Structure 1
Amino acid sequence: MDAAPDWGGDPDHTNPEQAQTPALSSCRMMTFLALAAKAGWPVAGHKIDPYLLRNLSVTHPNHVWAMDITYIPMARGFIYLVAVVDRATRRILAWRVSITLDAGFCIGALEEA
């Protein structure tokens, strides 16, 4: 039931009723959501959060900050880099690196900024 073009299918020639088959694993669910997005089907229960910066003009420093977590592959797993960025100046205000993805190092970077 996979109609994603990456796997040789065509989302324009699919039956929406077939897409409602229960997902048995997270991989199948992710495939279903990608297929639904490409075909334009609504997914029940998927809440879309409002974009809070839509009508906001970011003109001065310390008005809006953004955070980003980046996974950096290493020989034995990942290290995680978190950065706090000022949206007006595009400067990095603080950053931290950790070998575990826990909230503590994110909060530490935010407090440092």
Structure 2
Amino acid sequence: SRVLTDLSEAHGQQAESLYEFIYRHSWELLDDTTRRVFIAMPLAAQPGTTLDHLSAITGIAEAELYPALDLLIRMSLVNVIGTIDERRYSIHRLTETFLHRQVTKWIL
């Protein structure tokens, strides 16, 4: 597959370069709405944010947030905890650090 080919090309690089490669590949698979949601995730307080709060900080309607969050969850970029009635969304600290350091370079 394309991912395995790309990973084999990254063989031998430092861990940070590998992380950058993986996150960059994931970033390129996201549409604009999903990217906006992903970028907003560091604004979510631990233990995560609610759908209402995420809608408020992104300006994205809840109906558009569902598919974006679903994709981010399936790509293991966003974690979901809680019950079906009280879901909370968060990101791993490594992902948050990476967003702060790299993604801003990609969007400027």
TM-score, normalized by the shorter chain, greater than 0.5: no
Whichever structure has more helix as a proportion of its residues is 2
Structure-1-length-normalised TM-score = 0.24
Whichever structure has more strand as a proportion of its residues is 1
RCO higher in structure (CA 8 A, sep ≥6): 2
Structure-2-length-normalised TM-score = 0.24
Give the number of the structure whose alpha-carbon radius of gyration is greater: 1
